[in-house]
Amino acid sequence: MSQCEVFIKYNPYRLETKVELNNKPVPENSQLLIKNGRRLQEWIERLPEILRDECNEEDFHIIFQGTTPDYEDLLEVKALAAQSGINLECDHIRAIETQEKLPVIEQIFRDIQNGPIPELRDPQLTDSFEKAMGSEFHINVVATMSAGKSTLINALLGRKLMPSKQEACTATITEIKDTEIPNFRAKVVYKNDEIIDVPDLTYELMQKFNADPNVAEIHVEGNIPFTSSKETSLVLVDTPGPNNSNDPNHQAATEGEIKKSSNTLILYILNSTQLSTNDDNKLLDYVAASMNVGGKQSKDRFLFVVNKLDDFRPGEDKVETALENVRKYLKRHGIEDAQIFPASALTALDINTTLENIDLRNFDPFEADDNVLEAFQKIRKFNRNSELHLEQYANLRPSLRHEIENTLAKAKLEHDQKQEALIHTGIIPIEAAIRMYVEKYAKTAKIKNVVDQFTKKLESSQALENIKSEIASGTERAKNIQETIEELNGKLQSGKNARAFERMIDKIDYKSEISRIVDDANKNEFYPRIRAELEKSRGKLEKEQAEYELRKIKSFSDRLQADVEIKLGKVISEHVKKQANNLFEAYKKELDKLAGELKIGEVSLNPFELVSGELGANSDELLQKLTQTERVKTGRHWVENTNKRWYKPWTWFQESGHWTDDYENRTYIDGNELAKKSLAPLQASLIENMNSAKNYAEQQAQLVKEAFKKMFRELDAALEKKLAELRDYANQAKDNAQALEESQEKQRWLEEMNSRVDAILEI
């Protein structure tokens, strides 16, 4: 049977895919006709089966045109396909990589700023560009207690900053943002909303803040050494684990991040010496559910770090056996083909701290103090024992493995024992995997966002210059354009259309739709779960049994509240975003209606084009600004929860309070009555929280409506300003040859810049 030729071109910036079979386009009904807007990672795993079904063959030659990270995804699929008897022979046509595009973008921005169009030098474009280039990418570090989470974060930072304690003591969320500043600084947010600035953050200060029960959040900035903030600003997020927090809503926040389909990378840390804790089991159930939705990207975003492998003794313990146990453990939770990275975070941290200023070439162990000697012995242990060369077990792409092998060879050649051991600790492979994910997903999205910002501004300027050129030409069309400008300006000045548009905004109904969705979730998902819990037969229980059942019911209540928060938070945010996008489209139609079919020759006077540059690439930027700061109390509680804040949506669903259970002096406790009594507050709280969600949705609706009214008034003012500019230009430039030449020169410059900007997205 002959080999089938397959050509695939994938553009990760435009999210466009082209597939050919035997040099012919695929048929209209083919599964290989991939719709624009889909990432390669959403469908690439199914490629071998699709090819076999559609071509009735099992031997294929694939020529892939695209970036290296995407090509390496194809190579992974190739290896899996071989297990099913499908042979994929793959060749790569190299595309322009993300790191090559960023300098081009910066040069284009400088050229636009130095160009002949004054309005392209305004602060708004600069601000939009800087925001897009400095977009943050969050890495959530997740672990249960004693897994070594703080040590791993410190190892990634290359310094001791995060305090590490064994006991469950903290409910503090810490975010560490990558910047170019040499030291670390912080904003410490207290539960009473007080904020203090810490210009020079130290380990001792972090210990103090971390142990303070009144501290809610710590926002840190400083240099994360394995990445560059100029390309993407990483944010390491340390959220207390489920068994290490005094606030159950932190567990809900962690589970919410895990459930996201993209955007956030998860570093899930497992203790190699202590698998299968109850808290791990709960979180891994969420991980498995998330990994099974959304294709390969959903799997890529979870890196499982198996920590504390420095405790293993060569010859007695086997690293491979430990990792195989981890794979089996994850598989029992439904997690297949996990990306596993073995590590010794403590050894890596010691290399960068304890031994930072020690020259090992002149090292005398007899003169070293105990800490230095212990760190030195760890280096010897990792460098001498090939079984502890942890990089060999890491799930690395070929390009990353090659990169690390070259770094290792250089370290050996230069007798750099510290760098060699650092690679063997597994930290450098973890850093490389993080950079790869950022390059494949975050940077491509950022590049597209920057291009959108440029394009809108350039299109607005081009629309303006096209009209100016017609005016300067002094033709009959110029006269018609001037009349149209006066007519449009008169309509805007009357305010009639603006008032009609504001009435349309007022009619938008958020609450009824969200109320329907909330009630459906209540009826079909949450109350059935409570009923099922109540229907469990518990019978007569001794006191110890009753206490155990109470703990189980409390765990059930926490999980249900977390699920309510995640689901309803998502419903509200998605609905608000949908309505905001609808308002953008409605405004565009309103301007089209205002202008009518005002087309003069080849030039159309489109009001929306004149002001589209004043808008962001979409409505997201506006929505991010809509944050309530008012504190609202929803009623009386058994014991008031003072942490509830209306500006923190994740606190809507905290229990209104708690019950204190009184035990009568009897031998047995009725387990069924105990369940009813214990779950009664949950049912009452659920009703209150559902109503709170509906009310919050209505409040958000009012905020969005007012924000859009304000924005549209500003856009109308911007349109009036541009029409006035055109009117003044018409009075000065009519039949002016020099003005015509200048306008045409600007048009040529804008066309060139548009071509350069558009080319950024080509591969």
pLDDT given at position 600 = 40
pLDDT given at position 541 = 67
- Look at 283 and 178; give whichever has higher pLDDT: 178
> Quick one: tokens of 290?
């998330």
Please compute the mean of the pLDDT values over residues 231-243 and round it to a whole number.
Answer: 76
281 neighbors 292 (Cβ within 8 angstroms): no
pLDDT at 10 over 90: yes
CA 637, 638, 640, 645 dihedral sign is negative
pLDDT given at position 659 = 42
Q: Which of these, 260, 249, 247, lies nearest to 291 by C-alpha position?
A: 260
pLDDT given at position 286 = 73
pLDDT given at position 289 = 72
Please compute the mean of the pLDDT values over residues 642-646 and round it to a whole number.
Answer: 39
Composition of the chain by helix, strand, coil, percent to 5: 60, 15, 30
Please compute the mean of the pLDDT values over residues 353-358 and round it to a whole number.
Answer: 85
Please compute the mean of the pLDDT values over residues 683-696 and round it to a whole number.
Answer: 69
Cβ neighbours of 693 (radius 10 Å) = 26
Checking DSSP bridges between strand 215-222 and strand 185-190, what pairing results, if any?
antiparallel
What's the rounded Cα separation, in Å, for the pair 386 and 571? 51
pLDDT at 8 over 90: yes
- Side chain identity at 744, as an amino acid letter? Q
What's the rounded Cα separation, in Å, for the pair 513 and 601? 46
Kindly report which listed range (98-107, 338-347, 553-562) carries the lowest average pLDDT score: 553-562
Q: Tell me what percent of the residues of the chain surpass a pLDDT of 90.
A: 18
Please compute the mean of the pLDDT values over residues 348-365 and round it to a whole number.
Answer: 84
pLDDT given at position 639 = 36
Q: Which of these, 638, 307, 611, lies nearest to 488 by C-alpha position?
A: 611
Looking at every residue in the chain, the average pLDDT score rounds to: 76
- Look at 354 and 611; give whichever has higher pLDDT: 354
pLDDT given at position 443 = 83
518 neighbors 607 (Cβ within 8 angstroms): no
Residues forming beta bridges with residue 306, ordered by sequence position: 270, 342
pLDDT given at position 11 = 92
Q: Return the residue matching tokens 């409040």.
A: 699
pLDDT at 430 over 90: yes
Q: What's the pLDDT band for 599 if we cut at 50, 70, 90?
A: very low
Cβ neighbours of 714 (radius 10 Å) = 12
267 neighbors 141 (Cβ within 8 angstroms): yes
Cβ neighbours of 567 (radius 10 Å) = 19
Q: Tell me what percent of the residues of the chain surpass a pLDDT of 70.
A: 70
Q: Which of these, 654, 620, 625, lies nearest to 639 by C-alpha position?
A: 654
138-174 b/e (C-beta count within 10 Å ≥ 16 → b): bbbbbbbbbbbbbbbbbbbbbbbbbbbeeeebbbbbb
- Look at 732 and 304; give whichever has higher pLDDT: 304
pLDDT at 757 over 80: yes
Kindly report which listed range (247-251, 345-349, 373-377, 436-440) carries the lowest average pLDDT score: 247-251
326 neighbors 274 (Cβ within 8 angstroms): no
Q: What is the pTM of this model?
A: 0.70
pLDDT given at position 372 = 86
Phi, psi (rounded to 5 degrees) for 756 = -65, -40
What digits encode the pLDDT tens for the residues 106-127? 898 888 888 888 878 777 777 7
What digits encode the pLDDT tens for the residues 249-280? 556 666 666 665 556 788 999 887 777 665 66
What digits encode the pLDDT tens for the residues 672-688? 776 667 666 666 666 76
- Look at 760 and 649; give whichever has higher pLDDT: 760
3-state secondary structure of 335: coil
pLDDT given at position 257 = 64
- Side chain identity at 105, as an amino acid letter? I
- Look at 483 and 652; give whichever has higher pLDDT: 483
Please compute the mean of the pLDDT values over residues 351-372 and round it to a whole number.
Answer: 82
- Look at 495 and 739; give whichever has higher pLDDT: 739
469 neighbors 743 (Cβ within 8 angstroms): yes
pLDDT at 745 over 60: yes
Angle ∠(501,507,511) on CA atoms, nearest 5: 140
pLDDT at 660 over 50: no
pLDDT at 657 over 90: no
Checking DSSP bridges between strand 215-222 and strand 195-198, what pairing results, if any?
unpaired
Q: What's the pLDDT band for 516 if we cut at 50, 70, 90?
A: confident
pLDDT given at position 280 = 67
C-alpha distance across the termini of the chain, in Å: 34
Alpha helix segments (H runs only) across 244-310: 248-259, 278-291, 296-300
What's the rounded Cα separation, in Å, for the pair 108 and 757? 7
pLDDT at 597 over 70: no
Kindly report which listed range (29-43, 138-152, 251-265) carries the lowest average pLDDT score: 251-265
- Of these ranges, 406-420, 610-624, 667-681, the one predicted with the greatest mean pLDDT is 406-420
